[in-house]
Amino acid sequence: MEERVNDNLKQQLRRLAARRPYRIVAGSAAALLLASGTGALLANGDDAPAPRQATTAVAEIAPRLDGAATRGQARAVTDAPSATSTAPNPDLTATAAPTRSESKPAAPKPPSSKALDYDYQAQTTYYNCGPAAVRNALSATGIASDQDTLGVKLGTTEMGTNSAEDTTRVLNQMVKGSPYKTRMIPGNAATPAQMDQLQADVVRAISAGRGVVVNIAGSATDVDGGWHSFPGGHYIAVVGYEDQGRTVRIADSANPAVPSYWISTIALANWAATRGYSA
């Protein structure tokens, strides 16, 4: 009888070993029941070594059971959500604080009219209109100078001062930051764009406290009907404006009896045709 039981047990164990892994757990339970039942039967018999064989057979199956359990646990751990996760990007979350854009404050709008406080001086010689105009413009900036010194800097001779390039150069030597630029009007008459540019340049310079020097030639009429003629060329200083720069105040060194007058920017632009200005 003992031999039959052992044979049956071995056959059961072989069948269990051949089954698929997912059925081993159920098969192992049956094997354990069978082994315990066989042990109980043999305990009533005369021979005791039989339970030792059953224990050995169960031990051979244990590694397979352990392997199946390990794979199942591994799958469970893999499928489970991670306990630690990367911190959310604050720039992508709905609750992220909005980014504040840094914007520069808008530049203040220039006044509709402005007149500079300047120290007028008539030209000391018939050819010194260039140095006199530069001196009058500088006085509005608070810079004191004299016509003789400025004449040397400008390269002025009895033929006069060459061009607006010279007045720009000397003004930038005297005024901090070299703010002056030369604008040339090469045609016989100013274009609308050149008129607008002169108006904008005058407003910008006067608003900053700087006089403008203009090289003119020919004749022009001021707003009061006064006629001013310089066929050979002349230099004047702009020391104020009205109506957003459509009308400008001229400091003219040619005649101390008429030291200043107002003229439209359009008339001044045409007066500076073939020449230019420093602003």
Co-location of 48 and 139 in the same domain? no
In a domain, 84, yes or no: no
Tens of pLDDT, residues 45-93? 344 444 444 443 333 333 343 444 444 444 444 444 444 444 555 544 4
Contacts of 67 (CB under 8 A, 6+ apart): 21
d(CA 196, CA 246): 9
State whether 248 and 126 are in the same domain. yes
pLDDT band at 108 (very low <50, low <70, confident <90, very high): confident
Which residue shows structure tokens 């720069």?
245
Number of domains in the chain: 2
Task: Identify the domain containing residue 15 by its residue range.
Answer: 2-79
**Cβ-based neighbour number of residue 187 at 10 Å:** 11
| Residue in this structure with the two tokens 């140095």, named with its chain if needed | 131
Same-domain check for residues 20 and 119? no
Are 142 and 199 contained in the same domain? yes
> Comparing C-alpha atoms, which of 201, 186, 154, 158 is closest to residue 173?
154
Is 75 found in the same domain as 138?
Answer: no
What span, in angstroms and rounded, lies between the C-alpha atoms of 210 and 152?
22
Q: Are residues 132 and 66 in the same domain?
A: no
* Least confident span in 8-12, 141-145, 156-160, 224-228: 8-12
Mean pLDDT across 192-207: 98
Domain finish residue from 33, 61, 79:
79
Per-residue pLDDT band for 32 (boundaries 50, 70, 90) equals: very low
b/e 213-228 (16+ beta carbons within 10 angstroms → b): bbbbebebebeeeeeb
Looking at the domain assignment, is residue 97 inside a domain? no
Whether residue 48 is found in the same domain as residue 140:
no
| Same-domain status, 126 and 205 | yes
Classify residue 107: in a domain, yes or no. no
Cα dist. 81→84, 88, 259 in Å? 9, 16, 91
Q: Which of these three, 79, 95, 127, is where a domain ends?
A: 79
The two tokens of residue 195 are: 């008129």
Average pLDDT, the chain: 78
- Residue 89 located in a structural domain: no
Question: Is the pLDDT confidence value at 122 over 60?
Answer: yes
Contact 121, 132 (CB under 8 A): yes
Same domain, 19 and 68: yes
Find the helix or strand (DSSP H, E) in which 56 lies.
helix 50-79
Q: Is residue 101 a part of any domain in this protein?
A: no
Task: Say whether both 162 and 255 belong to one domain.
Answer: yes
Q: CA 217, CA 205: separation in Å to the nearest integer? A: 22
Q: How far apart are CA 178 and CA 12, in angstroms?
A: 107
Domain end residue (candidates: 79, 98, 127): 79
Q: How confident is the model at residue 197 (pLDDT cuts 50, 70, 90)?
A: very high
- Which pLDDT band, with edges at 50, 70 and 90, does 9 fall under? low
Chain-centroid distance of CA 178 in Å reads 27
| pTM for this prediction | 0.64
Residue 22 has pLDDT above 60, yes or no: no
Q: Are residues 126 and 242 in the same domain?
A: yes
Residue 267 has pLDDT above 80, yes or no: yes
Instruction: Name the token pair of 118.
Output: 């300047």
